[in-house]
Structure 1
Amino acid sequence: MADPLYCLRRHFQVVRYLISEPAVWILSVDEGFISIDCGLSSGTSYLDEKTGLNYTSDYGYIYTGKDHNISAEYNGQELFKTGLNLRSFPTGGRNCYTLSPATTGHKYLVRATFMHGNYDGKEHDLARSPLTFDVYMGLHFWDRISVNNTAKTYIAEVIVVAEVNWISVCLMDIGNGTPFISSLEMRQMKSSLYPVVMANQSIALQERYGMGVSSLLRYPDDPYDRLWWPWQGGSRLLNISINETIKRYPGDKIEVPTGVLQTAVTSSATSIPLNFSWTAPTSWPATVAVPAYYLNLHYTDFQQKLREFNIYYNGFLWEGNIKPAHLIADYRSATVQFTSDNGFYNVCLIATKASVLPPILSAYEIYYLVQHDSTMTSSEDVDAMMTIKSEYQVKKNWMGDPCVPETYAWTGLTCQSDGIISRVISMYETTNGDPCNGKSPKKKNMVGLVLAIVIPVLMVVLLVLTSLVIYFCRKQAPVRLLGCVDVPHIKSKEDCKDHINISDGREFTYKELMEITNNFSVCIGEGGFGPVFHGRLKDGTEVAVKIHSPTSEIEKGMTEFLAEVESLTTVHHRHLVFLVGYCTNKNHLALIYEYMPNGSLYDHIRGKKAVIQTLRWCDRVRITLEAAQGLDYLHTGCVLPIIHRDLKSHNILLGHDMVAKISDFGLSKSYFNVAQSHISVTAAGTIGYIDPEYCLSGRLTTSSDVFSFGVVLLEIVTGEPPIVPTTVHILQRVKEKVSTGNIETIVDPRLDGDYDVSSIWKVVDIALLCTKEASDERPTMSMVVAQLKDALALEEARNINQ
């Protein structure tokens, strides 16, 4: 049997010769570039005076949406000239631009900009209620645009390998306002650049900065028209620059512009690190995976003295003993995907002990992986369909891949015959009649006569085309036919392999508890809930069994029991103690946890284990950092924030490998909804760790946990308890000593000077911020995590250099 598309192509070749004037793609191409000013009047174009690039109207790239100019009051506030007008999409859930021509297998930079400018005159309160919509590159989620400032220009940029001879950019209405767009730009790049970009994966830009540039640098200084923004961070850093030529190593995979490499930032002394940080998006769809990052750091050296530094990523050594070459472009590029549990990322450049000069950095780029996890129609099939669409000027938009409209309806005509409904992509406007109802247009002139001859042939082509779309879409995506709802299916374990491993909440009988604990023979501790016994499951797994004490009030015991079960069966994190199961016998309430053989942080700082062996400063920082990550997950990683309410050194437990995990969720509380600012509840917790503002007001917030964590940080520095009889709280004791400026009066004497002074000071600074009297002046746990990573990096650098 002949290939249906082969027949279609042959038929198309015959039919095209019957057309008196072949169709023409409307393109604006300058040196391999496509530059589109969205919303510009049809047929108009202009030369951008800053770049020298020719911008054209978006007519011909899309057939839906409405043109607008921004309000006159915002003229002059637009970042680019393209911001003066825009195209909005008040109808249709999915509206797509088709950027063509592209060459299959070639690499392109695609950029979209969005400037609202109160174009609709409605004076939206975007700060209070942001306008939000999604941008897709073909079938693949690219970015979520959240517009909260009428005068700001928002930018989305991606580097992609063309899968077919066009690239589709789609705006998705998610019900939070009308999507709009100001410009679209496509720039062809060398195929050797950015080798992480391949046919099955793209990278989208999160940040790109030229550390020393004074203003935005782009085309023609950058032949690929990348945008290099001036960096605004680092008050203690110095801007430096040169005019000499910068050479490149053969095979340079990034080709940073000379104008960027001729400027840089450095710190004022080798003891001062150079660092930057960023956070992962928090508003992305739940169906989109947390982004995995790729990172490029660019540098050269302007001086011929020893400059050597280490690069730390999230507190861990990434690259060591880097010596930038004199006036030669160099870079470090991530060879693996960087991820973070709490969504906060930090990179720190620290001079080695041997270095004469401090670290230097000219630029950095942060990209996140765009997952290509959807199957598109065969490229050959799509090419044939799109060629016919272009040649015959089919103006009803296909909206991207013709086989995957998902839940978004196609804009073709709906026809019905013998009770069967199908979609026909029609070339006709309403004035040309409707092929579904049999009405014919009035013949106005000779064009009508030509159409009368050609239409029957075209209708055959279009009907064959529609049949083939259905045929191939059924063949490739049976549950995504022409806007039909996906057929639900049961996910296998393989489908769920990347999901959080939630406890199955196994329930144990009291008889099983007796067997597990050998009749409760080994008691390993006791808390407010009751005693804790060592146990062993049938498979040999060691567990800790916490039994409700009969001396406790049963109501209070049940409340704490239910709170802990609810918290630990709905969240799971590597730095939260894992709940193996529980017993709900009213007279024998019990919680079964993973066993943490190395006790608590308290044991190693102030308990019996502290007497045997002092916990090193490096380990103290690492342990509290891990605990901070667990606490940050409770605050920001859960659907509704969970407040621990009883954080203290006793509740930071240590496993076989000394990895820290937070325990004891008996007092924890969860927010009821995302808009909630606090929880009104009677103060509870442990004296010395309780947030005084919460204690007085009864208003519990995540900041209350931050205060408690700050006290724990003061514990690891001083080795002292929060409350000492006949003296003031640890916070006041440390503040008094800090005022003298002598760190030795603060630090636990058992550390015997084995620590980096800057690392100690950083932890003290964090602790004092966490314990601010006013809760709104305290940092978030994400901020605390970032600072602790810096403190750990400083200490590890000292250990490496010793």
Structure 2
Amino acid sequence: MGKVCRSKWSPGSMMWFRLTFASVFALWVFTVISATAVSEREFANYKHGRRKLDDIGGSISIDCGILDAYTDDKTGIPYTSDTTFIDTGENKDISSKFKSETLQKYLWNVRSFPQGNRNCYTLNPPEGKNTTYFIRASFMYGNYDEQDQLPEFDLYVGVNLWDNIKFENASHIVIKEIIHIPDRDNTYVCLMNTGKGTPFISALELRHFHNPSYTIPFKKSLVLYRRFDVGSTTGQIVRFKDDVFDRMWFPYNLPQWIPFNTTLAIDNLNQTVYKLPSTVMETAVRPINANDSLDFDLDTGDPTLEFDVYLHFAELESLKENEHREFNIDVNGNRENESVVPSHLSSTTELVRVRGPKLNFSFRKTPNSTLPPILNAMEVYIKKDFLYEPTDQEDVNAIMEVKESNRVTKIWQGDPCWPVPAWDGLICSNNGYKPHTITSLNLSSSGLTGKISPSVASLKSLQSLVDGNPDLCLMAPCKKEKKKFVVPLIAATVSALVVLTVLVVLWSYKRKQATKQLLRTHEGARSLKSDNRQFTYSEVVSITNNFQRIVGKGGFGTVYHGCLSDGMQVAVKMLSPSSTQGSKQFITEAELLMRVHHRNLAAFVGYCNEGTNFGIIYEYMACGNLAECLSDKTKDALSWKERLHIAVDAAQGLEYLHNGCKPPIIHRDVKTANILLNEKLQAKIADFGFSKFFPMEDQSHLSTTIVGTLGYLDPEYYTSNRLTERSDVYSFGIVLLELITGRPAIMKSYENTHIVQWVNPLLARGDIRSIVDPRLQGNFDTNSVWKAMETAMACVPLISIQRPSMNHVVIELKECLEIEKAYEQESGFSGLMMNSSNTFEMNPMGLETEMAPQPR
């Protein structure tokens, strides 16, 4: 790969830019992008629009899809148009059959986003960053597009997923609220197209939430799950002006409750920091039978969610001397806090922190109580991790300067780098939870004019810059040619035609060369010499019963089940005739399989090389690959001991490649799909098409084209092209995490979160039970799991020299297996359930602090 030089910037100096096309194409796969530019005039309009929204302190109220501002008759809240907060989208009205006087006016219209993957509103409240806000987004489809197709899309705050938006029917109103502390002055609220319909939004509101009682942990936000006005007598939603923070309280009653209320006012604004609406606290419920408990359930369906539950109480009755109300709060059978004695006409709030797929609340009166328990209101929040950092602020400032000074015509909105896809024309570093940086800026075909902004020099991680705009100067001053315009235009047109012709010729030439390369590769394959049997194509057809049963598919061909004449079952991998690149991988794999022999590597049986038909035949593995066995679609989950056996087998196979072969071999594509299992669940590493030999014993690394699978790819190898045995160690660490958690390397259900990023916060809390695959049902020794977890995390530091060798990994995993075996024997002898609650301090194995899990 060609060396990319960083530009040096100084006044009056010439700037040279070089870009290797291959590197851009490889990185482009990860960063396909979409966003738009805002002019200085529009920015001024935006600021002017925000200053109108001061009726509620520090608030922004946007009715999306309207042109003119108005004040809501019911709430007195002034709503403004969204035209000064976003540049993209189309204004639409919902179908007339859904409009009514009872439907809030801000739901009558929407802004729809048929263009682009990511469309973002920019909110800039006057209080700025590090201030607590609550943000509310409202959605009602109302068949605005006359398609009667309910869309589904994602909602982001900044660079982190807020929630998924889906609808039950066209009149379903979806309201999402979040209490959030931004770390930048600008807060982006983005709608992401997930391929399930066009995103849209009805209203967007932001409120300054100066209330310290709602505690927000570091790198988390509170997402509203439920907020109930319990015992409501009106059945109406309560919000501003009754609620000074404009929280929305929804009526909630159950058949087994008796609602009751008071006509006396409850002064919460001066008495409590929660500032609960008097209209909400003036109603309550109690059980029908005075001796019964007050019970209700919340079914979340997700065992990983953490909740903060705020329970609000106020005594509404004037109690006599011999009357007393006192009760306990039980959640999921556990006693929470001390007993509650509600204050007369004054609010008392109890905070309960709980986790689980189902929350069972039970209020039970104490023995001293003569009156049943009550409940006036409650709020339930999900504590949601917001782990991703926005793009480096200096890079954001620099790229915004480029956008404004050069009048970029590409769609640039929200954070430049995250969530993916990034801005069109940018390539960013993938720094995990750390701030991303811009590594490549492509300004070609952007219709830019003038000189490139000097702020580009502030992009400290920039490695490449592409121009390609005829009116864009790479050095100052720019000479303005006003008279001689026709000649440059003709010259540019002719040049474009010449370039187009050259590209067509090159494309044709490359196709011919690719075809010749395929033929040369097949000819090279004929020179393969081995003691292994060479099969004719007709024999392969017979072995596979005319390719009847497919057992797998890959990027370069299909794998079929076969049976030899002696009854031996085999797998036959046939190269796709249309694959030119794959032929090289087939030759590599065949040559390597002829040289290596180990009980934990797939055994080579033979090959076929006849005409354009090329195939590899190896032993058949009856239980498929590890990815299939770990899938949640699998009926019977692997036990923890079986998983450890598989881990040891696979580690031994890799250790043999690294240390038992001369020269050493790097697999380069270690993943669960390339670990095969036989009928005894013995694991064998397969698919050596990307493998590389180390040509020299004293060579520390190879510089090579990047190959591998997303999620398993060594970050250092990806960014530097430096390949070592420790690249395989990183990939194996991901495999080991999959064995422990039962989750894939990239979790689509968690906004495409990488498994390391998902595990880290749970490790920090020492919460091993939430990490381990729930299908194991606690049947494992905790010490064994923790040691395996240590080993996995030791394999995945970003810097390769911090990772252990595969020999060390094998030793650690064998110890894990011995611990588990001893635990099973002890449990079987004593008749105890296979469920351990042991904990111990972790040995971080010499890792730096940020990579080692914290003590439990």
Q: TM-score normalized by structure 1?
A: 0.50
Q: Which amino acid aligns with 2:247?
A: R
How many angstroms apart in 2 are the aligned matches of 1:332 and 1:40?
A: 42
Q: Which amino acid aligns with 1:330?
A: T
1:264 is aligned to 284
* Cα shift at 1:352: 1.5
Correspondence list, 1:81-120, <5 A: 81-102=105-126, 103-120=128-145
Report SS of the residue matched to 2:100: coil
Report SS of the residue matched to 2:154: strand
* Cα shift at 1:384: 7.5
2:243 is the counterpart of 1:230: no
How many angstroms apart in 2 are the aligned matches of 1:21 and 1:657?
A: 60
Correspondence list, 1:212-251, <5 A: 212-213=231-232, 214=234, 215-232=236-253, 234-248=254-268
Report SS of the residue matched to 1:223: coil
1:407 is aligned to 420
2:454 is aligned to 464
Question: Of residues 156, 159, 173 in structure 1, which corresponds to 2:179?
Answer: 159
2:350 is the counterpart of 1:332: yes
Q: Which amino acid aligns with 2:454?
A: V
Identity of aligned residues (%): 31
Distance 1:119-1:655 versus aligned 2 partners, 3 A rule = closer
How many angstroms apart in 1 are the aligned matches of 2:826 and 2:272?
A: 50
2:225 is the counterpart of 1:211: no
Question: Of residues 346, 361, 376 in structure 1, which corresponds to 2:375?
Answer: 361
Report SS of the residue matched to 1:297: strand
- Contact 1:399–1:405 (CA under 8 A) maintained in structure 2: no
Report SS of the residue matched to 1:23: helix
* Cα shift at 1:332: 0.5
2:64 is the counterpart of 1:38: yes
- Contact 1:598–1:654 (CA under 8 A) maintained in structure 2: no
Correspondence list, 1:606-625, <5 A: none
Q: Which amino acid aligns with 1:236?
A: Q
Report SS of the residue matched to 1:174: strand
* Cα shift at 1:271: 2.4
Distance 1:39-1:22 versus aligned 2 partners, 3 A rule = closer
How many angstroms apart in 1 are the aligned matches of 2:741 and 2:188?
A: 42
- Contact 1:140–1:370 (CA under 8 A) maintained in structure 2: no
Correspondence list, 1:547-558, <5 A: none
Question: Of residues 72, 80, 97 in structure 2, which corresponds to 1:73?
Answer: 97
Report SS of the residue matched to 2:460: helix
Correspondence list, 1:736-751, <5 A: none
Distance 1:503-1:296 versus aligned 2 partners, 3 A rule = farther
Report SS of the residue matched to 2:166: strand
How many angstroms apart in 2 are the aligned matches of 1:597 and 1:569?
A: 28
2:187 is the counterpart of 1:174: no
1:789 is aligned to none
Distance 1:222-1:412 versus aligned 2 partners, 3 A rule = farther
- Contact 1:502–1:572 (CA under 8 A) maintained in structure 2: no
CA deviations on 1:563-585 (whole Å, 9 max, x unpaired) are xxxx999654574544999xxxx
Distance 1:472-1:275 versus aligned 2 partners, 3 A rule = farther
* Cα shift at 1:172: 1.4
2:814 is the counterpart of 1:595: no
- Contact 1:163–1:199 (CA under 8 A) maintained in structure 2: no
Distance 1:77-1:410 versus aligned 2 partners, 3 A rule = farther
Distance 1:595-1:71 versus aligned 2 partners, 3 A rule = same
How many angstroms apart in 1 are the aligned matches of 2:125 and 2:402?
A: 15
Question: Of residues 332, 336, 341 in structure 2, which corresponds to 1:318?
Answer: 336
- Contact 1:78–1:84 (CA under 8 A) maintained in structure 2: no
Distance 1:505-1:101 versus aligned 2 partners, 3 A rule = closer
**Structure 1 range deviating more: 209-218 or 97-106:** 97-106
* Cα shift at 1:407: 2.8
Report SS of the residue matched to 2:80: strand
Correspondence list, 1:676-695, <5 A: none
Q: Which amino acid aligns with 1:245?
A: A
* Cα shift at 1:141: 1.4
Q: Which amino acid aligns with 1:326?
A: H
How many angstroms apart in 2 are the aligned matches of 1:326 and 1:139?
A: 45
How many angstroms apart in 2 are the aligned matches of 1:146 and 1:79?
A: 20
Please, which runs of 5 or more residues in structure 2 have no aligned partner? 1-7, 12-39, 428-438, 465-637, 647-678, 682-738, 743-772, 785-812, 814-822, 839-856
2:505 is the counterpart of 1:505: no
* Cα shift at 1:359: 0.6
- Contact 1:93–1:408 (CA under 8 A) maintained in structure 2: yes
* Cα shift at 1:322: 1.4
Q: TM-score normalized by structure 2?
A: 0.47
Distance 1:70-1:248 versus aligned 2 partners, 3 A rule = closer
CA deviations on 1:673-704 (whole Å, 9 max, x unpaired) are xxxxxxxxxxxxxxxxxxxxxxxxxxxxxxxx
Distance 1:319-1:408 versus aligned 2 partners, 3 A rule = same
CA deviations on 1:492-537 (whole Å, 9 max, x unpaired) are xxxxxxxx995553459xxxxxxxxxxxxxxxxxxxxxxxxxxxxx
* Cα shift at 1:175: 1.9
Please, which runs of 5 or more residues in structure 1 have no aligned partner? 8-18, 283-288, 415-419, 426-432, 439-455, 476-499, 509-557, 561-566, 582-590, 601-652, 659-802
How many angstroms apart in 2 are the aligned matches of 1:385 and 1:277?
A: 50
**Structure 1 range deviating more: 245-254 or 72-81:** 245-254
* Cα shift at 1:424: 4.6
Distance 1:139-1:240 versus aligned 2 partners, 3 A rule = same
How many angstroms apart in 1 are the aligned matches of 2:267 and 2:194?
A: 48
How many angstroms apart in 2 are the aligned matches of 1:189 and 1:392?
A: 38
Question: Of residues 283, 295, 313 in structure 1, which corresponds to 2:309?
Answer: 295
Correspondence list, 1:235-634, <5 A: 235-248=255-268, 252-280=272-300, 290-303=304-317, 304=319, 305-334=323-352, 336=353, 338-340=354-356, 343-379=357-393, 382=396, 398-402=412-416, 404-411=417-424, 422-424=441-443, 435-436=447-448, 456=450, 459-460=451-452, 463-468=453-458, 470-471=459-460, 503-507=641-645, 572=774, 575=777, 577-578=779-780, 595=827
Q: Which amino acid aligns with 2:239?
A: R
* Cα shift at 1:411: 4.7
- Contact 2:286–2:294 (CA under 8 A) maintained in structure 1: yes
* Cα shift at 1:265: 1.0
Distance 1:21-1:363 versus aligned 2 partners, 3 A rule = closer
Report SS of the residue matched to 1:260: helix
Distance 1:408-1:592 versus aligned 2 partners, 3 A rule = same
How many angstroms apart in 2 are the aligned matches of 1:397 and 1:101?
A: 24
How many angstroms apart in 2 are the aligned matches of 1:85 and 1:134?
A: 20
How many angstroms apart in 2 are the aligned matches of 1:67 and 1:435?
A: 27
How many angstroms apart in 1 are the aligned matches of 2:366 and 2:125?
A: 51
1:678 is aligned to none
Distance 1:467-1:505 versus aligned 2 partners, 3 A rule = same
- The number of residues matched between the two structures is 453
Correspondence list, 1:634-713, <5 A: none
2:64 is the counterpart of 1:64: no
How many angstroms apart in 2 are the aligned matches of 1:191 and 1:68?
A: 36
- Contact 1:161–1:198 (CA under 8 A) maintained in structure 2: no
Q: Which amino acid aligns with 1:123?
A: D
CA deviations on 1:566-623 (whole Å, 9 max, x unpaired) are x999654574544999xxxxxxxxx9687267759xxxxxxxxxxxxxxxxxxxxxxx
How many angstroms apart in 2 are the aligned matches of 1:88 and 1:307?
A: 53
* Cα shift at 1:351: 1.2
